[in-house]
Structure 1
C-alpha cells in the first residue's frame, strides 16, 4: 500500500510533464532498485526512469541500451568523464541483479515503484522557503520555484516531476526539461541551501535586498599591507573586528557610496572597482588604498621576525575569538580543541552560532598552543597565544578563511597553508610496505618522509621568501615531531620490550635531547611524542610489589585486626614464603616442621577475609613505586618547563586515575619535586577535592548494592539472573566500567541528560565496576552524580565480576548492554550515553514491547 501511495503521488505530478522524453529504457526496469546498505541513511539504491539513471548523488541521461541473453546494459552520459555503465540481469518477481562498472561485484536488488524512504510532497507541501529567491555567487545563478510552479535552476525553468523529503535529511527534486532531467539534492543549512546535482555541489544564499552589493561582495585584502581589512556581505560589512549593518548603498558616478551604521555612528566608504578583483576604497578620513578580492593572501612583502610568546606556564590567560561562519554546514557551535598538557587529554571549547553565523569564544590558555579550529566541520590548524583577540572568518562553500586582529598576518599564513601529506602521494604497495616494515626500515622510511615534507616546505618558502619566522618554525617543528610521533607509536609493536639501538639513539639524540619546541605546547605531535617516549623510558625499569610485604606491613601498622593466633600463623607463613624464595632449604624445613595444618588454615583464612584490602593496598604501593620511578626519569630532563610539566602530569594522572587523595606524608614527599607555582596550586586543589569528597556520603546510598552474600556464587547465569531479578518489567541499561578507565569516565558526563530524557519511565541504569578500589569507586559515583533512584551500582567480588564478564565476553571497557523487560539481552552493543538520541530511541523501543 505504501508503494502504491507513492506511485499515485508520482502520477499526480507527472500530469504536468509533456510527453517529450524519449523512452529508451524498458518499462519493466523503471522504478527504484534497492539493496541493503551498511548503515541506515547511506546510499541504498538506484532510481531508473524512461531515459535516466540515478547513481550516487548524480542523475545521468541514458545514451544507449543493449539487450542480450537476459541482460540489459545501459551506457550513461558522464559528459566526457570516466565510462559509466549499468548491467541489469534477470529482472523478475520484483528482483534483479544490478552491477555498475564501478562496483566490484553485482548486487541483488529489490524493486519498488519509488524510494520508500522518500516522503513525496504534494504540490502544496513543498517548504515555503523554496519560493523565496536564492542565489549562488559569484555565478549569480538563481534557484527557486516560480509562480508557475516551475523550478528556476541553472538559469532555465524546469518542470518538477516530483519533490520529496529523504529521511528528514534532505529534499530531492526530479526536474525535467524536454529530453533532459536532473535530480537535485537539497540540504537546508543555517542560512543557505546546499545543492548537489550533475553540475556539482553549490551553495545558495538568500538574494540580497540591494542588488548593488554584488558589485563588491567578498573579502578585500589591502594590497600594501596584505591584511584583510573589509568583508562585505549581503546585509552587513565586517571592519576592524566589528560587524556594521548597511544603512545605504548608492551609486556615485562610477563609484559606490557605502554607508555603514553601528551604535548610531555612520562610517562612509567610497568603492571604485578597477576590475572584477581590484578596487580602490576611500574611507572617512580620506585614506586611499587599493584592495584585492582574492581567496588567498599573496606572499609577504616584509619580514616578520617576531617569536612566539612563552609564558613559562606561570598562569592561565584568556584568548578571545569572535567570528563569522558564512554558509556553515550545520548550526553546531564553533569549537577550538587542543591538548591539555596537565591532564594529557584533548579539551574543547565551544561558541554558539547565532542566527547569522556569528560567535564569540573564550579559551583559557597556559601558554602558546596549537589548536584545531572547528574540526568537526572544516577543521583547520592554528596557533593561539594567551591573551590575544582576533576575528575569524570562514566560508564553507569556498573554503576562504581570513582573520583580522592580533597576529592576523601569522594566522592568515597558517590558515592558507596546505600541509604536506605523504599518504596522498603513496601507492598502496608503498603504504603496505611502510606498515609492515621492520623497525630499522621504518626508521629509514620516516626519515625520508620527513625530508620530503621539509622539501615541500622549502618550495613554499621560495614562493614566499618573507614568510614569518613563526610560520617557518611552527611548520618545520610540526613535521619533525610528526616523524617523532610515528616512530614512538611503534613501541606498541615491540616484542622484546626495547627498540634496536640505532632506532632509539636517533630518537633520543635528534628528537628528545634536541631542544623541544619553544614553548613545547606549540606542537601537538610533540605532546604525543613526549608521552610515548617518556612511557618507553619508564617501562624499561621494572616495578613490582610482593603481596606478602604488603600484608606484613598492614599487620605491623595494625591496619587489620587479628587475634594473636591469626597474627602468629600469618607471619610464620610469610617468613616461610620468604625463605623459600631464597632456597635456604634447611631453615625452610625447620620452620615448616612447626607450621601445622591448623596454622596454614588460619593464615589462608586471613588472606581470604582481607583479600580486597590487600589488593587495594598493593595497588597503592605499586602506584607509588611507579611514581617514584617516573620522578627519577623526569629529573634527567634538562628543559625546566618540560620537566615540571611531566612531573605535574604524573601527579594529575595518579589522582585522577585513583579518584582518591594521597596519604599526606606521601603527598608532601612527592610535592617536594614540583617547583612551578601554577602546577603546585592545581595539584593541591585536586588533592583537597578528593580529601573532601571522601568525607561526603553518596547520595541515594541505596544505589550501592552490597554483594558479600554473592561471594560463593559459581554460576554466571544464575548470578546475573539474581542481580537483575528485582527489576523485571523494566528496561535495564548495563554499563561495564572501571575507575581506571578514561573512556568510561569520558562517557559519564552524558548520563545525566539521558536520565532526564527518560525521566519517569521504567528504566534502570545498572553499573558493574571492574577492579575498582572502594574509595575511588564511590568518589567517581559522587563526582559524576551517578547515583539515583533508578541507578544500581555493583562492585562484585573479583571472581564473580570475572564470571559475569566472561559470560558476556566483555573484553573492552566501557561496554553497554540493553536488557528487555523480560530479562533477556536485547543487544550487546547498546548506544553510548554520548549518543543520547539513539540510546533514548533504543530504550523507548524496548519499553513499548
Structure 2
C-alpha cells in the first residue's frame, strides 16, 4: 500500500510539473545570433540586442534591447515577422514602441521592447527576425538558444570566470590569445574535448578544453588551468569583483606607445569606409593638435595600430564603423574584437577592464539645443537644457552603480570628469550663441565656476577638459583689467604689463628705470583704461593719451627695445597670470604655455623670436612641453633658410594698378592657353592650410589636365607666407604664388567673387573666369568640370 501511494504521489508530481512547464513554455535566456545587418554601436547605428525569447502556446515573445542616439529616428514595420523552416510567423503586437512610425528614443537613447508573434513550433531550434521587406529593414538571422551552440568550438570566445576578462577565442582559421593571432599547428577532438597546439612567431603553446557544462569549460592554456564561460552577449558581462582603484597611469606627459591589435570580423563593405586601414584619433594635450594614427588592415580585417600616447588620455576609434570612445594608457597593449554579423565587441589585454566597461556602458552625449533667438526666456532654456542633460548623465552613472555594483571606480572617475568637462565647454558654446548677452554671461560664469571647482587629476585625461580649460582662461582674460569691452569691440590694455616687464629687466641689470617711473607707468595705464571706458573711440587717436603721458619714459632706446622684443609674449603673460590665479599647477601651466606658443607658431607659420625662445629655455621646465616647442621652432628655423623665390612672384608687375580685373589679367598673361586653377587663401586660415597639405596629391591627381596653379594670399605676413609654401611644399614648375598689397588683393577678390576662404576659381584657356563653383578638395567633382572645358 505504501508503494502504491508513493507511486501515485510521483505520478501526480510529474503531472503538476508537466502542466507547470506547459504554462511557462520554453525560454531561451541567452539567445545567440548568426548574422545581423544592423551595427552594434548604438549611436550612429541602431543597436538591437535580443535578450530573451519565450515560447508559449498562443504566441512567441521576443524581448529586445534597442539603442540609438535620441536625435536619430528608427522604425519597426508592422510587417515584422519571424521566419523558421521556410514559414513566416506574423507580428501580432509590440509593447514599448509604436509600429510604422519614426520613433525618437527618449532619455539616454535606449529602451526595451517586447514583440509578440504568432507561435513558433515548440520544436524550433533557430529562427530569423525580419523587419519587413524594405531595402534597409533590420534582419537578425540564426537566432538560437545558447544551449544549441554551446558544444560548437568555432567561432567562440571565452571569458575567465575568476578575472572576468576575455582571454581566448577560437575561430575557423586561427585562435586569439594574449592579444595575438595564433595559427593552428595541431587540432585534436575527442567527443566534446579539444586539444590545440597554437603557434605565433615561432612560439608554441598547448591548449586543452574539457567538456562543456552549464556553458562553461575548464581550459588549460600553456599549463595554466581556469574555468571559462562562453561569451554570447554583445559586450562583456559585469566583472565578478569590484575594482576600487580610481587612478590611471601617469607618465607626466612622457610619450609611450600604445599597441592596438584588432580584428573587424565580418566587416561591412561600403564606399564610405576605408577598407585598407583602421584609425585612432586623439588630441595631443601638449600641442593641441589633432593626431590621426592609421594601421593597415588585411583582407580579413586584421590590423595593428601603434599610437604614440603622451599620457593616459581619451581616444576615438574609427568612427565610421566602430565608434569607440575610451581611455588609452601608455605602454599598454590591447586587442579589439568587433564582429559585425554576430554582434560582439570585446577588448583583450592585461589592463583592459575600463575599455570593456566603456563598451558595455556607452558614453551619453549632452543634449544641447542651441538657439540664436536670444530672448531672456530662450537663453535660460538653453542653459537649463545643458544643466538638465548633465544631471541626467550623472543620474545614469548612479543607476549604473546600483544595477552593476562591480563596475570599476576608474570607469566612474573617467566618465564623471568627461561629463563635467563637456558641460563646462558647452556653456561657452551656449554663451556664444547668445552673443554674450548679459543674462547668458552671468549664467555661464556661475555654471563654469562650479564645474571648474570639481576638476581633479583625472580631468586631464578628457579631451573636452583641455578645450574647457583654455576657453576659461581666455574668457577670464577678456574680463580682466587688461581688456576694455565695448559694443564697438575690445581693446587690450597691454600697458598694464609694461611696469612688471621693465622691473624684471631692471632687476637683471638690463635697463635703467626708477621706482617713481614704474609707478608713473602704472598710473598712466589705469588712467588710459578709464579714458577708454568713458570714450572707446579714443583708442584710434595717434598718439593716444597714454603715449603722450608716458613718452619720456617709453621713447628711451633701451626701454623701447625691451618692449618691442617682449611684444610677442604679452598675451602669454596675461594668460599665465590668469592661470596662476586659478591655482593651475606648474606642470599644467607649462603645457598651456606649450599649446599657446605651438599654436602661435602654427598660426603665423614663423618661428619664435629670440625673446620668446629664451623664455621657453629659462622658464618652461616640463620636458615634453619644452621638447614640443623646440621641435617646432627648429622646423620653422630650417624652413626660413629654404629658398622659395622660384615660386613666389613679386607684385612689381602690377604696381600702381587698382582695378581687380586688370590686376588678375596682368598676372595670368604669361599663362594664356592654359587652364588655371586659382586658389585664394591665407596663412591665418586653417582650412586653407589643411588643403595646402594635400597639394602634392592634388597635383598628381590632376596631372593629365596640364594646369597652372595660381595662389593669391590674403592678409598674410611675408615670412609666414613663404614658410607655409615651403612647409607644405606647394611648389612646382606650374605653381605660382602672389602676396599682393592689401588693396590690390581686395580688388581681385571682389572681381573674382570671394565669399570665404579658401575660394577656388577656374580660368579657361582664353583667360576668362569659368562660371562654375569648384573646390580643389573635391577632386572627382573638379575633374568633371575640367573635362567639360579642357
The answer on whether the counterparts of 1:731 and 1:846 sit within 8 Å (CA) in structure 2 is no
* Alignment correspondent of 2:709: 765
CA contact (8 A) 2:424 2:468 kept: yes
Q: CA RMSD in A?
A: 4.0
The answer to whether the aligner puts 1:683 opposite 2:623 as a matched pair is no
Q: Give me the whole-angstrom Cα distance separating, in 1, the residues matched to 2:288 and 2:753.
A: 30
Q: Please list every run of 5 or more consecutive structure 2 residues that lacks an aligned counterpart in the other structure.
A: 1-73, 80-87, 94-99, 103-124, 144-148, 484-489, 494-539, 549-562
2:254 pairs with one of 306, 315, 318: 315
Deviation at 1:443, TM superposition (A): 3.1
The 2-side partners of 1:249 and 1:212 are apart by 19
Deviation per CA, 1:682-730, whole angstroms, max 9, x where unpaired? 21232233223222211xx332111134243232222222222322332
In structure 2, the residue corresponding to 1:739 is in which secondary structure? coil
What is the match of residue 643 of structure 1? 589
Moved more, 308-317 or 745-754: 308-317
How far apart in 2 are the matches of 1:197 and 1:493? 37
Cα 1:494–1:102 change in 2 (3 A) is closer
**8 Å contact 1:261–1:267 — kept in the other structure?**
no
Note the C-alpha offset of 1:500: 5.3
User: Which structure has the higher relative contact order (CA within 8 Å, separation 6+)?
Assistant: 2
Check conservation: 2:676, 2:762, Cα contact below 8 A. Answer: yes
Decide whether the 8 Å contact of 1:370 with 1:521 is kept in 2: no
Could you say if the C-alpha distance between residues 696 and 532 of structure 1 is closer, same or farther in structure 2, counting changes exceeding 3 Å? same
- Please show how residues 723-802 of structure 1 align to structure 2 within 5 Å: 723-759=667-703, 761-802=705-746
1:270 counterpart residue number: 209
Question: 1:386 aligns to what SS in structure 2?
Answer: coil
CA shift in 2, pair 1:715/1:287, >3 Å: same
The C-alpha deviation readout for 1:816-846, integer Å capped at 9, x for no partner, is: 223333334346642343x44444x346524
Task: Give the whole-Å Cα distance in 2 for the aligned partners of 1:182 and 1:438.
Answer: 44
Superposed, which structure 2 residues align to 1:279-428 within 5 Å? 279-283=217-221, 285=223, 287-295=225-233, 296-311=235-250, 313-329=252-268, 330=273, 331-421=275-365, 423=367
C-alpha separation between the residues in 2 aligned to 1:81 and 1:740?
Answer: 62
TM-score by length of 2: 0.68
Evaluate the alpha carbon distance shift between residue 57 and residue 462 of structure 1 in structure 2; reply closer, same or farther with a 3 A threshold: closer
Return the offset for 1:450.
1.1
Q: Whole-Å Cα distance in 2 between the matches of residues 823 and 815 of structure 1?
A: 18
Distance 2:661 2:89 in 1: 60
Partner of 2:237: helix, strand, or coil? coil
Q: 2:407 matched to 1:467?
A: yes
- Aligned CA distance change for structure 1 residues 288 and 306 (closer, same or farther; 3 Å): closer
Task: Say whether residues 1:525 and 2:467 are aligned partners.
Answer: no
Between the aligned partners of 2:185 and 2:615, the Cα distance in structure 1 is 67
CA contact (8 A) 2:76 2:101 kept: no
- Secondary structure, counterpart of 2:422 in structure 1: helix
Answering whether residue 747 of structure 2 is matched by residue 808 of structure 1, we say no
Separation (CA, whole Å) in 2 of partners of 1:477 and 1:434: 31
**2:519 corresponds to:** none
Q: Give the structure 2 partner of residue 510 of structure 1.
A: 450
Partner of 2:577: 632
Determine the C-alpha separation between the residues in 2 that align with 1:462 and 1:643.
Answer: 38
* Counterpart Cα distance in 2 of 1:736 and 1:620: 33
Q: Is the 8 A contact 2:286 2:624 kept in 1?
A: no
Q: Superposition pairs for residues 18-417 of structure 1, below 5 Å? A: 200=139, 215-247=153-185, 249-262=187-200, 263=202, 265=204, 267-274=206-213, 277-283=215-221, 285=223, 287-295=225-233, 296-311=235-250, 313-329=252-268, 330=273, 331-417=275-361
- Cα offset for 1:785? 0.4
1:674, distance to aligned residue in structure 2 (A): 2.4
d(CA) in 1 for partners of 2:678, 2:89: 52
Query: Does the C-alpha gap of structure 1 residues 619 and 140 become closer, same or farther in structure 2, counting only changes over 3 Å?
Result: farther
CA displacement at 1:581 relative to structure 2: 6.2
1:527-566 equivalences in 2 (<5 Å)? 527-540=466-479, 541-542=482-483
Match for residue 667 of structure 1?
Answer: 613
Q: Kindly tell me: are residues 57 and 530 of structure 1, through their superposed partners in 2, closer, same or farther at Cα, counting changes over 3 Å?
A: closer
1:408 positional shift: 1.4
**Quick check: 2:414–2:459 contact (8 Å CA) kept in 1?**
no
Displacement of 1:784: 0.6
* SS of match in other structure, 1:334: strand
Matches of 1:465 and 1:411 in 2, distance apart? 17
Instruction: Flag structure 1 segments of 5+ consecutive residues without an equivalent.
Output: 1-55, 62-76, 83-100, 104-137, 142-152, 155-180, 184-195, 205-210, 547-575, 585-617
Please give the secondary structure, in 2, of the residue aligned with 1:771: coil
8 Å Cα contact 1:223/1:292 also seen in 2: no
SS of 2:627's partner is helix
Partner deviation per Cα, 1:450-478 (whole Å, 9 max, x = no partner): 11111111111112112111101011111
Alignment-derived partner of residue 845 in structure 1: 787
Shift in alpha-carbon separation, 1:628–1:464, aligned structure 2, 3 A = same
Are the counterparts in 2 of residues 478 and 525 from structure 1 also a CA contact under 8 Å? yes
The answer on whether the counterparts of 1:237 and 1:245 sit within 8 Å (CA) in structure 2 is yes
Q: Could you tell me how far 1:348 is from its partner in structure 2?
A: 0.8
